[in-house]
Amino acid sequence: MMTASEIRREILSTVATNGGHLASSLGAVEIAIALAKEFDPARDRIVWDVGHQAYAWKLLTGRKERFATLRKAGGLSGFPNPAESECDAAVAGHAGVALSVALGMAAAERLCGDNRFTVAVTGDSSLVNGTSFEALNNAAAAGKIIVILNDNDMSISKPAGSFSRFLGRLIAGAKYNSAKNALRRIGKALKLDFLYNSAHGFKAKIKAWFLADSFFEQFGFRYLGPVDGHDVDALCAALKVAKSERRSVIIHAVTKKGKGFAPAEKDPTAWHGVGPGRIEIPDDGSAPVAAKNEAASSPTWSDVFGDALCELAEKDDRIVALTAGMKDGTGLENFAARFKERFFDVGISEGHMVAFAAGLAARGLRPVVAVYSTFLQRAVDQVMHDVAISSLPVVFCVDRAGLVGADGVTHQGLYDIPMLRCLPNLSICQPKDARDLAALLDEALSRNGPTVIRYPRGKAPDLVSLSDAPANPKVAVWATGDMLAKASRIAATAGGVTVHARYLKPFDSALLARQREAGMKIISIENGALAGGFGEAIGADLRFGWPDEFIPHGSIPELEKKYGLDEETITAAIAEVAPGDKLPTAGC
């Protein structure tokens, strides 16, 4: 079996080339080793809660030879996936679901009379997710599971809320455990067992003070810990105890995010997820180091959003900002620093965040919810029930909308348009450039109803200009903002006109009617799912978007080429249709 240091170097070497989720996986290496030692990975069920801590697990379960393909098209996924290996019990891309999935598996094992172990590896920030608490509430009725609580005192950013403080008190309770064990040893050495046993009442009071009434035991779990999460022997010993227990067990493992790579230990947020080229691997075999700082690059869409929101908040003290453990990823660092009392990080609890925003809006504030598209999926019910029905002025700034590439199926932001387009009272828009994003945010905050502003991952162009339209265009190419530059070039080649679908709902129906009356064929290009998407809304004659299947990981150019969203394929498809012909009803 690989050693912890060998695993960390392999992870660092691969991420240096391919990019990936670094700090989390570095911090969970010993947990993966202990699991591989104490369980049969192909038989027992090991469920990882957010798989970006599971790189070591891939290396230890038969995928070392393919590890260099991590996150590349056709290679290993960046997250656990049963389709990739029988050692991956479940898909793991979103936080907070491992306990529920593991309980379902344990219940099935009990009903089928099987004797496999079921283990859930969750994080301190994942455990505050509402689904995790629902699982705890149901745990006693389901079956035995073993939970490893990987407590690194971090989400992507520093964790928020009372639960992290509670776990801190449990760690402080290690002093109580040491004192209790010392008392037991002294009593046995002197054959004074009564000294330990008679202290039961006093011990209970001390335990309640140190361990906050042993929260987990109220749900039927035996609590073990805190355990040093970087001590394989200690972890294995705790797992042996857990396996022997008849009831469910929680092992509280305290780890350091970024363990073994000094820059990630110092700033785990900055090293949570990194692109290629951030790490240098010396040829002489010495320790990997951070690459030299590159020159400042153009701002991302997240940066532009954060700056624009701060500027508007200076003028309007009703503006508040919310995030679900993603302050840095969504561009809210400056807002949080400048408007501390108007910033809310609710932890990884998207459903609560949206309902909370509804409460803020109902009392006259202007909440702005910053969330990745893939995570907004987790709160669609609250968008409908708590915001849209009452037409409350909540602004949803949906980051990473569209294809995200190497993060793969669990993170592709392709479904926000179909999921939200059907909701009454809700406006959906998408900017074409940085200036347009600032303008749309200003418009949304002045509207007395909910608005969704979606924008992609990556750099935001300062200004996108459209090509001149011909005198008598035969084709109108309607495109979402991030596809607009491509659409403009395609339209110019096809002798058509480009339309920026700035508002996807409500769209410019009057313009669409005029173009149809003029005999134009309507083409749609969107960075979203075709089924239920924008092209379907406008009844486009030829629609280009992502097909009705889950899109795997790979680079964006590779995936666009594979699925026919590259410029050459779209141009050729339009050119094949004679001006007088009826175009097909769908593209990709």
Q: Which residues contact 441 (CB under 8 A, 6 or more apart)?
A: 305, 308, 309, 312, 368, 395, 397, 453
| Rounded Cα–Cα distance for residues 281 and 288 (Å) | 5
Verify that 85 and 151 share a domain, yes or no: yes
pLDDT digits (tens, 9 = 90+) for 528-553: 999 999 999 999 999 999 999 999 99
Residue 295 has, within 13 A of its CA and on its CB side, a CA count of 1
Verify that 236 and 335 share a domain, yes or no: no
Q: Which two tokens stand for residue 486?
A: 């491509």
End-of-domain residue from the set 422, 454, 486:
454
Backbone angles phi, psi at 479, to 5 degrees: -140, 145
Asked if 409 and 93 touch (Cβ cutoff 8 Å), the reply is: yes
* Catalytic residue flag (residue 203): no
Verify that 424 and 517 share a domain, yes or no: no
Asked whether the predicted pLDDT for residue 580 surpasses 70, the reply is no
Q: What is the CATH number of the domain that holds 542?
A: 3.40.50.920
Q: Which two tokens stand for residue 502?
A: 């700035």
Q: How far is CA 157 from CA 154, 199, 274, 467, in A?
A: 6, 42, 14, 42
| Rounded Cα–Cα distance for residues 456 and 470 (Å) | 30
Domain membership of residue 202 (yes or no) is no
Asked if 15 and 272 touch (Cβ cutoff 8 Å), the reply is: no
DSSP 8-state class, residue 175: H
Query: Of the candidates 357, 358, 362, 328, which has an alpha carbon nearest to the alpha carbon of residue 342?
Result: 357
Identify the pLDDT of residue 418.
96
The stretch 445-466 carries a mean pLDDT of 94
Residue 458 falls in which region: left (phi positive, over 0), alpha (psi -120 to 50) or beta: left
| Rounded Cα–Cα distance for residues 450 and 394 (Å) | 5
Asked whether the predicted pLDDT for residue 491 surpasses 90, the reply is yes
| Rounded Cα–Cα distance for residues 344 and 300 (Å) | 22
Of 182 and 488, which is predicted with more confidence?
Answer: 488
Verify that 44 and 91 share a domain, yes or no: yes
Q: Which two tokens stand for residue 104?
A: 């379902």
| Rounded Cα–Cα distance for residues 258 and 280 (Å) | 16
Q: Which two tokens stand for residue 264?
A: 């990630």
Average pLDDT of the chain to the nearest whole number: 87
| Rounded Cα–Cα distance for residues 156 and 333 (Å) | 13
Q: Which of 350, 526, 536, 560 is catalytic?
A: 350
Identify the pLDDT of residue 585.
45
pLDDT digits (tens, 9 = 90+) for 174-200: 444 554 555 455 445 544 444 434 444
Verify that 232 and 307 share a domain, yes or no: no
Q: What share of the chain is helix, strand, coil (3-state, %, to 5)?
A: 45, 15, 40
* Catalytic residue flag (residue 474): no
3-state class of 318 per DSSP?
coil
Identify the pLDDT of residue 378.
94
Q: Please count the structural domains in the chain.
A: 3
pLDDT digits (tens, 9 = 90+) for 381-439: 999 999 999 999 999 999 999 999 999 999 999 999 999 999 999 999 999 999 999 99
Q: How far is CA 452 from CA 112, 390, 393, 416, 533, in A?
A: 46, 16, 11, 9, 15
Backbone angles phi, psi at 305, to 5 degrees: -60, -50
Q: What is the pTM of this model?
A: 0.86
Q: Which of 9, 327, 366, 378 is catalytic?
A: 378
Verify that 53 and 141 share a domain, yes or no: yes
pLDDT digits (tens, 9 = 90+) for 343-362: 999 988 999 999 999 999 99
Question: DSSP letters of 257-310?
Answer: TTTT-HHHHH-TTTTSEE-TTSEE--TTS---EEPPPPPP-PPBHHHHHHHHHH
Domain membership of residue 100 (yes or no) is yes
Verify that 342 and 443 share a domain, yes or no: yes
Q: Which two tokens stand for residue 69?
A: 């393909």
Q: Which residues contact 168 (CB under 8 A, 6 or more apart)?
A: 153
- State CA 31 to chain mean position distance: 22
Residue type, 514: R
End-of-domain residue from the set 230, 254, 278:
254
Q: What is the CATH number of the domain that holds 358?
A: 3.40.50.970
Asked if 49 and 126 touch (Cβ cutoff 8 Å), the reply is: yes
Verify that 369 and 483 share a domain, yes or no: no
Q: Which two tokens stand for residue 17?
A: 């080339």
Dmax (CA) for the chain in angstroms is 102
Neighbours of 470 (CB within 10 A): 14
Domain membership of residue 463 (yes or no) is no
Domain with 76 in it: 4-158+216-254
Residue ranges of alpha helices (H) inside 113-249 are 130-142, 162-172, 174-189, 193-197, 200-211, 232-244
Asked whether the predicted pLDDT for residue 513 surpasses 70, the reply is yes
Of 159 and 35, which is predicted with more confidence?
Answer: 35
Asked whether the predicted pLDDT for residue 230 surpasses 50, the reply is yes
| Rounded Cα–Cα distance for residues 251 and 146 (Å) | 8
Query: Of the candidates 91, 49, 42, which has an alpha carbon nearest to the alpha carbon of residue 63?
Result: 42
Identify the pLDDT of residue 206.
45
Identify the pLDDT of residue 467.
79
Q: How far is CA 569 from CA 478, 496, 587, in A?
A: 17, 17, 10
Question: DSSP letters of 19-41?
Answer: -EE-HHHHHTHHHHHHHHHHS-T
DSSP 8-state class, residue 585: S
Query: Of the candidates 47, 229, 231, which has an alpha carbon nearest to the alpha carbon of residue 150?
Result: 229
Domain membership of residue 312 (yes or no) is yes
Verify that 100 and 220 share a domain, yes or no: yes
Identify the pLDDT of residue 291.
87
Query: Of the candidates 514, 524, 484, 516, which has an alpha carbon nearest to the alpha carbon of residue 500?
Result: 484
| Rounded Cα–Cα distance for residues 453 and 308 (Å) | 13
| Rounded Cα–Cα distance for residues 560 and 527 (Å) | 10
DSSP 8-state class, residue 173: T
Identify the pLDDT of residue 186.
45
pLDDT digits (tens, 9 = 90+) for 132-177: 888 888 887 778 999 999 988 654 445 555 454 555 555 444 444 5
Q: Which residues contact 496 (CB under 8 A, 6 or more apart)?
A: 469, 470, 473, 474, 475, 476, 477, 490, 520, 523, 574
Q: Which two tokens stand for residue 547?
A: 């097909």
Asked if 130 and 349 touch (Cβ cutoff 8 Å), the reply is: yes
Percent of the chain whose predicted confidence (pLDDT) is above 70: 87
Verify that 448 and 483 share a domain, yes or no: no
Helix axes 174-189, 162-172, angle to 10 degrees: 20
Domain membership of residue 189 (yes or no) is no
Domain membership of residue 163 (yes or no) is no
Question: DSSP letters of 462-511?
Answer: S---PPPPPSS-SEEEEE-GGGHHHHHHHHHHHT-EEEE-SEEES--HHH
pLDDT digits (tens, 9 = 90+) for 69-120: 999 999 999 999 999 999 999 998 888 889 999 999 999 988 888 789 999 9
Task: Read off the pLDDT band of 575 (50, 70, 90).
Answer: confident
Verify that 430 and 485 share a domain, yes or no: no
Asked if 96 and 131 touch (Cβ cutoff 8 Å), the reply is: yes
- State CA 140 to chain mean position distance: 29
Domain membership of residue 198 (yes or no) is no
* Catalytic residue flag (residue 350): yes
Identify the pLDDT of residue 133.
85
| Rounded Cα–Cα distance for residues 516 and 154 (Å) | 54
Residue type, 62: G
Q: Which of 257, 259, 342, 457 is catalytic?
A: 257
End-of-domain residue from the set 226, 254, 282:
254
Asked whether the predicted pLDDT for residue 574 surpasses 50, the reply is yes
Domain membership of residue 314 (yes or no) is yes
pLDDT digits (tens, 9 = 90+) for 275-326: 888 898 888 878 888 888 655 578 999 999 999 999 999 999 999 999 998 9
Identify the pLDDT of residue 160.
52
Verify that 245 and 128 share a domain, yes or no: yes
Neighbours of 468 (CB within 10 A): 9
